Structure 1
Amino acid sequence: MTPPNTQPTEAPGIRSQPSAPAADSAAPSPRYTHAALDALRSQGDPLADETVAAMFAAGDVGDVNTLMRFFTTADQKLPPGMPSSAADYLEATRMPPDWVDWDVMERARVFFIDNAAHINTGLSFMSMPATYAIPRVARLLASTHSMDYPSRRMAETGQFVTYLMQPNAFEAGSKFLPAAQKVRLLHAAVRHHLRASDRWDEERDGVPLCQEDMLGGQIAFSLLVLDAMDRMGVHMSQEGAEAYHYAWRVIGAMLGCNTEAAPRDLTEARAYGDLYALRNLGPSDAGVRLNAQLMRMYEDVVPGTLLDPIVPATIRYLVGPTIAEWLEIPRSPFDTVAQAVPVLLGLLETVEDSSPLAEWALDKAGHLLTRFELGALTRGRVMQYAIPEELKSEYGVRSHAARNQRWTPPPPTSVG
């Protein structure tokens, strides 16, 4: 497949905003240069990497996975027999960062409650496909057995975000904290396997699941989701959008991201995302296969086949034509329908802003839709985050006062 452009003119989170003239484009952040991202590409997550290396060296991985199935809530006593390497790691990572602003986190939780269905749509139809347009990341994802079943990754992501947005997410009894600890180890295990194999060119691609890509993922799940919501016509305040991004900064820190390098606000997130995309976006066979699996999974969740074409149409509309071509997303008559979504959602948002009853009804409908989506993906099961003992042998695959405000996405930066 020959992409329409060698460098993307449209991409999630970096597309030119029609309302922002070129003269208003923000200058690139001095924090983010090619040299800075080159350095991040050579970094992993030392704490988690050392823990995983010790577990594999001692042959403890199977036992740890078994024991960690019973470790599901914060402040729960560790199961007897937990190897010291895992126990030390769990103790070192059991608390959130000491710099967390809890008022902002509460605003993020309210933002999530108000926009749960829209956030899930952004995650599902923009963030996930966008990661497949990074060839290096697509190859890495294709190396894991779980990507034979994209519903599992979607279910794990949805469950993880749902845990985060509970009122007790960082308190005793929280399910989020143990989930974050396990996901961080899972990432380190993938890194461990690929570095030990002959299937990863570290000189060309850097450390597997490097800091550059970890921060890129943080952008995908924060700024790109907000971009998707904006493109769908969802009303949101600047305060709410910044709080949502801040929550992902906290998540990133707990998953081992370099907090010094992480974007501090949405303007810096745009600068990082633009440069990251310029360096890394492109077509790949792995990306095409992964996205095809993802679309089939979405189509299976929706009863019948009549509305199946809306899946590729929605993804194509949100990610833009360049990435859509790279991922070989088929065109359909529903492409035009997808472009009308912002008008419909804009009308619904206007009704919601003007009526407390309509606001309650639409929030309730969004909550039920979110529960349905997660239930369909998990089939009622709790998803376990296990450390992979091996990889695939081949790469196969409201604040209510602000409801009527409209967040304006940061303009694209000038990168080169």
Structure 2
Amino acid sequence: MVSTAGGGGHYTQMPSLYVDGYNKAKAVDPVLADAYIRNTLVGDPAADAAMASLADFTQAESHRLIEAGMNGDEETLRKAPDALRAFFREIDRPPPFEYDPEKAAVGARAFYKYSDLFFVGLVLDSLVTGLSEDLAKAFYITGRTAGNLRRVKQNTRQLVEITLPGGMDRQGDGWKLTVRIRMIHAQVRQMLLDSDEWDVPREGLPLHMAHMALASTGFSAILLDSARKLGVPLTEEESEGFMHIWHYVTWLLGVPEELLYRTEKEALEVRKIARLCERPPGEMAAEVAHGYIGTVPELLGVTKPAKQKRLFNALYRTSRALMGNELADTLDFPKQSTVGALAFVRAQRKAKILYSKIMPGARSHDFNNFAGMLQRSVYDDTGISYRMPDAIKDTASTPW
């Protein structure tokens, strides 16, 4: 086995589950394969230490201190543990590259205009196809499989906030939500390590940085690809602008330089090597995938059983068309023909645009798109919650 370096405690050997995959990946790109495997034993030292320092605080106390750090409330933050203050000092530094809001805005405007199709791509493709069996295990253990409604709303809200003007400024909600996700990952990572359900020598660290890079490619490059399949006519400038946003987001999530992609092509290279290194999806990934799709009727307000049945048939058919039959079969999706599935989605959208143009008093389709996206992203009545999970099982945790 190949020796690895990095924040993996006393574990320095390649996790045994990755040996076969690594041998395949190194034949394709040995440098990137080595980087991916190294990061299976890398957590997030700054965030891990920050969350560990809050272990003896109540959820309400932690919320108050984290909120102070997010809002730059130095007076309140002085009462926080050193590790939490150090974490905020680290992420307050500017990124080691120039973030161009004007470039990002070009990609953001395309996202606003076609947000309905981006949402379809998110739930039916990018969230689902990014699941390896071992990445899915974290969700499986915590119980965040079936009924993932809140998580889908959280993912949707992050997409909305990071693309809004000023969203990735230091005081922007996109910036804050991204850092919140990073802190949740650190909290869950520690709870999984403290459980008897994770074997580091075999599996690597839970929610390791290689998995963070893999997941991020789904929200960026794969989401762009899904949108194109669904009929979004993205220009090169729009695609580059969207990837520019995710370059910054991925850095802010703690992904190290050697896995930090800048372009769509680089992201797809990371994903290709990840797919070779990782075990293919299995039962746990399938359960998580079905959980995602199971949230859509509630998100869309479809409650009648007959309508739900027709909707699920359309959702699985569209998802299968986006990801291909091989992966859909692996995830145990219903077997059905996908001929015309994506064309039907495109035709429906054109019909809605036409309706909005010819009906007196109808709002524009673009407005309804983004308004719908905002509605699907609301999961708290007030502001951003900085509560953290306080139990490994989602059902046992205080609401967060």
Instruction: Indicate conservation of the 8 Å contact 1:75/1:172, yes or no.
Output: no
Unaligned runs of 5+ in 1: 1-6, 8-26, 352-359, 395-416
Name the counterpart of 1:35: 34
How far off its partner does 1:49 sit? 1.6
Instruction: Indicate conservation of the 8 Å contact 1:179/1:385, yes or no.
Output: no
Identity of aligned residues (%): 19
Q: What pairs up with 1:310-349 in 2 under 5 angstroms?
A: 310-332=314-336, 335-336=338-339, 338-341=341-344, 344=347
Q: What pairs up with 1:10-409 in 2 under 5 angstroms?
A: 31-32=31-32, 34-56=33-55, 59-60=56-57, 62-68=59-65, 71=68, 74-76=71-73, 79=76, 81-102=79-100, 103-132=102-131, 134-147=132-145, 149-171=147-169, 173-280=171-278, 282-302=280-300, 303=302, 304=304, 305-306=306-307, 307-308=310-311, 309-332=313-336, 335-336=338-339, 338-341=341-344, 344=347, 361-375=364-378, 378=379, 382=383, 384-392=385-393
Q: Do the aligned partners of residues 266 and 78 (structure 1) sit closer, same or farther apart at CA in structure 2, a change above 3 Å counting? A: farther
Q: Do the aligned partners of residues 221 and 135 (structure 1) sit closer, same or farther apart at CA in structure 2, a change above 3 Å counting? A: same
How far off its partner does 1:77 sit? 5.3
Q: Which amino acid aligns with 1:66?
A: H
Unaligned runs of 5+ in 2: 1-19, 21-26, 355-362, 396-400
Q: Which amino acid aligns with 1:200?
A: W
Instruction: Indicate conservation of the 8 Å contact 1:73/1:175, yes or no.
Output: no
Instruction: Indicate conservation of the 8 Å contact 1:232/1:341, yes or no.
Output: no
The normalised TM-score by structure 2 is 0.78
Q: Which amino acid aligns with 2:114?
A: N
Q: Do the aligned partners of residues 301 and 160 (structure 1) sit closer, same or farther apart at CA in structure 2, a change above 3 Å counting? A: closer
Instruction: Indicate conservation of the 8 Å contact 2:142/2:394, yes or no.
Output: no
Question: d(CA) in 1 for partners of 2:243 and 2:189?
Answer: 26
Instruction: Indicate conservation of the 8 Å contact 2:43/2:205, yes or no.
Output: yes
Name the counterpart of 2:398: none
The normalised TM-score by structure 1 is 0.75
Instruction: Indicate conservation of the 8 Å contact 2:69/2:85, yes or no.
Output: no
Question: d(CA) in 1 for partners of 2:75 and 2:290?
Answer: 40
Deviations, residues 57-91 of structure 1 (Å, cap 9, x unaligned):
xx136354331575596445564643343233223
Deviations, residues 205-242 of structure 1 (Å, cap 9, x unaligned):
21111121111011111011011112112100111112
- Greater CA drift, 204-213 or 294-303: 294-303
Higher helix residue share: 2
Secondary structure class of the residue paired with 1:212: helix
Secondary structure class of the residue paired with 1:143: helix
Q: Do the aligned partners of residues 362 and 60 (structure 1) sit closer, same or farther apart at CA in structure 2, a change above 3 Å counting? A: same
How far off its partner does 1:340 sit? 2.2
Question: d(CA) in 1 for partners of 2:192 and 2:154?
Answer: 22
Q: Which amino acid aligns with 1:326?
A: T
Structure 1 residue runs of 4+, over 3 Å off? 27-31, 63-66, 68-84, 145-149, 170-173, 345-351, 379-383
Instruction: Indicate conservation of the 8 Å contact 1:29/1:268, yes or no.
Output: no
Higher relative contact order (CA 8 A, sep 6+): 1
Instruction: Indicate conservation of the 8 Å contact 1:234/1:346, yes or no.
Output: no
Q: Which amino acid aligns with 2:328?
A: A
Question: d(CA) in 2 for partners of 1:96 and 1:140?
Answer: 31
Deviations, residues 159-182 of structure 1 (Å, cap 9, x unaligned):
122221221224465222322222
Q: Which amino acid aligns with 2:370?
A: H
How far off its partner does 1:368 sit? 2.6
Question: d(CA) in 2 for partners of 1:114 and 1:393?
Answer: 35
Q: Do the aligned partners of residues 383 and 204 (structure 1) sit closer, same or farther apart at CA in structure 2, a change above 3 Å counting? A: same
How far off its partner does 1:42 sit? 1.8
Q: Which amino acid aligns with 1:331?
A: K
Question: d(CA) in 1 for partners of 2:349 and 2:373?
Answer: 20
Secondary structure class of the residue paired with 1:273: helix
Question: d(CA) in 2 for partners of 1:337 and 1:72?
Answer: 50
Instruction: Indicate conservation of the 8 Å contact 2:42/2:205, yes or no.
Output: yes
Question: d(CA) in 1 for partners of 2:279 and 2:343?
Answer: 28
Secondary structure class of the residue paired with 2:233: coil
Secondary structure class of the residue paired with 1:55: coil
Deviations, residues 129-186 of structure 1 (Å, cap 9, x unaligned):
1233x10011111222554540111111111222212212244652223222221111
Question: d(CA) in 1 for partners of 2:70 and 2:52?
Answer: 25
Q: Which amino acid aligns with 1:322?
A: E
Instruction: Indicate conservation of the 8 Å contact 2:36/2:259, yes or no.
Output: no
Instruction: Indicate conservation of the 8 Å contact 2:168/2:174, yes or no.
Output: yes
Equivalences, count: 354
